[in-house]
Amino acid sequence: MNGKFGFAHTRNGIALPARDVPELPLPDFRHAVIEAAANGDRVAALFGHVNPAASGLEVYAIISDSLNARLHVGKARLESDRYPALTPDCPQVHLFERELAEQYGVRPEGHPWFKPVRFHASYRPGQDAWSRPEGSAPVVGVTDFYRVEGEQIHEVAVGPVHAGIIEPGHFRFQCHGEQVYHLEISLGYQHRGAERSLAGGPHRRTIHTLETVAGDTSVGHTTAYCLAVEALAGGHLSARAEVLRGVALELERLANHTGDLGALAGDVAFLPTAAYCGRLRGDFLNLTAFLCGSRFGRGLVRPGGVGFDLEEGRQAQFLERLEAAERDVTVAAELLWDSASVQARFEGTGTVSPKDCLELGLVGPAARACGVECDVRQDFPWGVFRFVQIPVSSWDTGDVFSRAYVRWLEIQRSVEFIRAQLQSLPGGSLRRALGPLRAGHLAVSLVEGWRGEICHVALTDEQGRIARYKIVDPSFHNWSGLAMALRNQQISDFPLCNKSFNLSYCGFDL
Amino acid sequence: MEAFVIGALHMLTAIVFPPLMLGVIGKTKAVFAGRVGPPVMQPYRDLIKLCRKGSVISETTTWVFQAGPVVGLATVLTALLLIPLGSSFAPVSFTGDLILLAYLLGLGRFFTAVAALDTGSAFEGMGAAREVTFACLAEPALFLGLLVLAKLSGSLQLGVMLGDSLTTHWATAGASLALVLLSWFIVLLVENCRVPFDDPNTHLELTMIHEVMVLDHSGPAFAMILYGASLKLFAFSALVLRLMLPMGGGPAWLDWPIFLGGLLLVAVVIGVVESTMARLKLTHVPTLLVAACLLSAFGLVLIAR
């Protein structure tokens, strides 16, 4: 049973008994995670869990090994309130360790950037990593910001209230003239306790919480949740339900990528593409509404299947509207690539090196734009993607152009996928009733949302209820990528770089 | 009597017409984007709306902050007295008036920048720094162009330099004037924060140049700023247009309609530029401004045999 590094292994969407997850002594656990990251595997999740039946804090690590499509799961037990940090040897867990410290009050000693993540009180009363008095509510955004000092250095603070209608987040720039030496991003304004509200479930609110973890990734997060509970309950979906879920996921990708291309054009004041893509994003959202009645795919993906069908009679109309939107988006995108003034702004702006990308563990289009070929649809296929492969779209310059172009490549692949699937939609029932969740099991589900890898981990207790539910939104990994992209850039290019990542605040804040 | 009528016509045009140009630019951009767009009279409505609003004035500011919009508007209004519009001469015209014109605009800019610095905001300080840096490069381009005209006309009076003698100069020194025209069009775009130098529509504070300087102004003060900006656009368009279409030779009833039509055409051209081009990277703006200076300088070299 034991695989690499003494960890247990499983696959995407396959549950394993919690007792099979090996408990390693802390030094071995640290060694395993550091080794895995050094060998090119990714840390998909690292989280704590207080097991009422045992003492101390259990720390789980999920290592994703994309070469073998395997997920390695292991845990360690922390009895003390401090442990030697992993981050100095494995930078990609830096935020996971801060999160762990904030939630459970354990201090990773030697963490180079030890600050709160979401500014909430510890889950374990009386145990606080920053020794704040018990009962005091931390104020979001109040922390020691990194400062550069010297003559002609100035600090620019942006947010949490922004000029546009966007989510709240605080950005602190250390500048020398127009040049940014360092950007620090401080979030947490939208922390609403999504993970903790899922414990004890599934209950009636669970699915709605999942649909709104990140409002623009409803299908992605709901699919990941359904994969996890279906793994825990056992049983298979019909082929039709699998395909419809895949179509919805790709529609979500199409709408958001198209919107992003338009927003990027808008940021450089390139009017035609900005105007067209704004409308076309709406066309793709309306296609999702045509499928299920909600522009954001709410109510479509449900445990055991899907809530809505695309009947024979409506398929032709759906395809017709898809073709029309594809034609228009092609024109809009080609205008963008053909315009020299746009390319001059995109190329060489906000470059992330492949080394930084791998060390920080970036995911999704942001990683593929650095030439890193990672895509859950190929590496850990689930559902319909086990039978239909979508080629991985990547580009290797790592700049704004690269991130924009990867989106355009993915738009084309997604349209092809949807067209092919709808021309031969398999039969089968839409939704099957799921049995109760198996007690004492753990399931990991990975889904390639439009921003990248969505990782959900569900752990059930002895009554078959959810004891711990861990959500990792792609934004959790990628915000650090944005901070790196801004190093030594012009501060006036920040909005453009930010848009090229287009990360979620609420998906991060949970 | 005739001088009085023309003077009144001059001021009436200069006061009433400018916001219409903004409306035309907006409409042009809307057509390119496939939208209906706001009506061309919208800028007037916006100004009226702002005048009826209250103002918020930060406690950390001094009188400088409130003087900024007033001085900004007053200087550009005075400058408009000096620029010949549809007739040969402006109401105020004397030898060397071009210097007064340039530095009235400079004074307006100075006060806008100082009012921005007065707020103590990081954004506004950044905007002021950018505005002043680019102005340093735009001013020589304007002056080198004026020098070409002074040399050709042998006068230091705007009314003569941009008078009907330009018709003959276009025949004899057309290349020089074409270079100046191009250079001034670039100055027009940068001075009025149009694409590709600035984006008047953006909400992104970090990328703005002019707009970020006036973030803290509201209500009537902001209306003054917007109105002043449209006057400035009108002033530079008038200069460019007078250079392109020498006026004052024909009957007044013909010159004025041609002039106003020409201004709308300039607005359409600006709209087209904004619809087909992306913004420059901020670091590339000085490069283009130096190019504008060089264009005017070459114009001067061509006639300085």
Contacts of B275 in chain A (CB under 8 A): 271-272
Distance in angstroms (rounded) separating the CA atoms of residues B260 and A438: 80
Interface of A with B in 355-374 (CB under 8 A): none
- The one-character DSSP state at A151 is T
A291 CA: distance to closest CA in chain B (Å): 28
Between CA B245 and CA B238 the distance in angstroms is: 10
Q: What is the DSSP string of A304-362?
A: TEES----HHHHHHHHHHHHHHHHHHHHHHHHHHH-HHHHHHHTTSS---HHHHHHHT-
Q: What is the ipTM of this complex?
A: 0.86
Structural tokens at position A17: 């008994």
A428 reaches B (C-beta below 8 A): no
Cβ atoms of residues B126 and A180 within 8 Å: no
- Terminal CA-to-CA distance of chain A, rounded, Å? 34
- Does residue B201 sit at the A interface (CB-CB below 8 Å)? yes
Angle at A160 between CA A156 and CA A164, to 5 degrees: 95
Over 90: is that where the pLDDT of B89 sits?
no
At A342, the pLDDT band (50, 70, 90 cuts) reads very high
Q: What is the mean pLDDT of residues A447-455?
A: 94
For residue A152, is pLDDT > 50? yes
| CA gap A170, A168 in Å, rounded | 7
Q: Which residue range forms the structural domain that includes residue B52?
A: 2-303
* Predicted confidence band of residue A76 (pLDDT cuts 50, 70, 90): very high
Q: Name the closest residue on chain A to residue B124, using Cα atoms.
A: A156
Which residues are within 8 A (CB) of B92 and not within 5 positions of it... i.e. 6 or more apart? B81, B82
Q: Which of A156, A164, A269 is facing B122, going by the closest CB pair?
A: A156
* Chain B interface includes A275 (CB < 8 A): yes
pLDDT tens by residue, A291-341? 999 999 999 999 988 989 888 889 999 999 999 999 999 999 999 999 999
Quote the DSSP letter at residue A390.
P
Task: For residue B247, give the 3-state DSSP assignment.
Answer: coil
pLDDT at position A59 over 90: yes
Return the pLDDT at A54: 84
Which of B125, B202, B279 is facing A345, going by the closest CB pair?
B279
* DSSP structure class, residue B257: H
Cα-Cα end-to-end distance for chain B = 44
Average the pLDDT over B243-249 and give the result.
Answer: 78
pLDDT at A204 over 60: yes
Beta-carbon separation of A492 and B203 below 8 A: no
Question: So what's the pLDDT on residue A137?
Answer: 81
Indicate if the pLDDT at residue B239 is higher than 70: yes
b/e burial code for range B170-193 (CB count within 10 A of at least 16 → b): beebeebbbbbbbbbbbbbbbbbb
Alpha carbon separation from A319 to A203, A259, A425, B169 (Å, rounded): 37, 20, 12, 63
Q: Is A331 touching B (CB cutoff 8 A)?
A: no
Structure confidence by residue, pLDDT tens digits, B260-303? 999 999 999 999 999 988 888 888 999 999 999 999 999 999 99
pLDDT of residue A1: 40
Integer angstrom CA distances of residue B254 from A146, B243, B247: 66, 18, 10
- Mean pLDDT to the nearest integer, B63-81: 94
Cβ of A269 and B282 within 8 Å?
A: no
Rg (C-alpha) for chain B, rounded Å, is 19
pLDDT tops 70 at residue A2: no
Put simply, the answer to whether A495 touches B204 (Cβ < 8 Å) is yes
Specify the amino acid at residue A134.
E
Which residues, 6+ apart, have CB-to-CB distance to B163 below 8 Å? B84, B88, B89, B153, B246, B247, B248
**Quick check: B205 and A269 CB within 8 A?**
no
**Mean pLDDT, all residues of chain A:** 91
> What average pLDDT score do residues B207-233 get?
91
Residue A235 has pLDDT above 80, yes or no: no
State yes or no: pLDDT of A459 exceeds 70.
Answer: yes
Predicted pLDDT of residue B70: 95
CA distance B192 to chain A (A): 15
pLDDT band (50, 70, 90) for residue B248: low
Distance of alpha carbon A12 from alpha carbon A195, whole angstroms: 20
| Residues A190-217, mean pLDDT to the nearest whole number | 91
Task: Delineate the domains of chain A, giving CATH numbers in brackets.
Answer: 4-109 (3.30.460.80), 195-472 (1.10.645.10)
Per-window interface: A 469-498 vs B, CB < 8 A: 490-496
Which amino acid makes up residue A409? L
Phi, psi of A405, rounded to the nearest 5 degrees: -70, -35
DSSP string, B122-136: HHHHHHHHHHHHHHH
| Residue A133: band (very low, low, confident or very high) from pLDDT cuts 50, 70, 90 | confident
Q: What is the pLDDT of residue A456?
A: 95
pLDDT of residue B237: 95
How much is the pLDDT for A3?
Answer: 58
Confidence class of residue B33 from pLDDT cuts 50, 70 and 90? confident
- Residue pLDDT, tens place only, B117-167: 999 888 888 899 999 999 999 999 999 999 999 999 999 999 888 888 888
- Which stretch, A401-410, B207-216, B280-289, has highest mean pLDDT? A401-410
Question: Is B131 near chain A, with CB under 8 Å?
Answer: no
A344 touches chain B (CB under 8 A): yes
Token output for A386: 């086990």
Say how many domains are in chain B.
1
pLDDT in tens, B165-193: 888 888 899 999 999 999 999 999 999 98
Q: What is d(CA A99, CA A93) in angstroms, rounded to the nearest whole number?
A: 10
For A91-113, what is each residue's pLDDT tens digit? 999 999 999 999 998 999 999 98
CB A397 within 8 A of CB A266: no
Question: CA torsion A89→A91→A96→A101, rounded to 10°?
Answer: 60
A45-59, B52-66, B192-206: the lowest-pLDDT one: B192-206
Instruction: State the amino acid at position B300 in one-letter form.
Output: L
Rounded mean pLDDT of A31-36? 91
| Residues of chain B with C-beta less than 8 angstroms from the C-beta of A401 | none
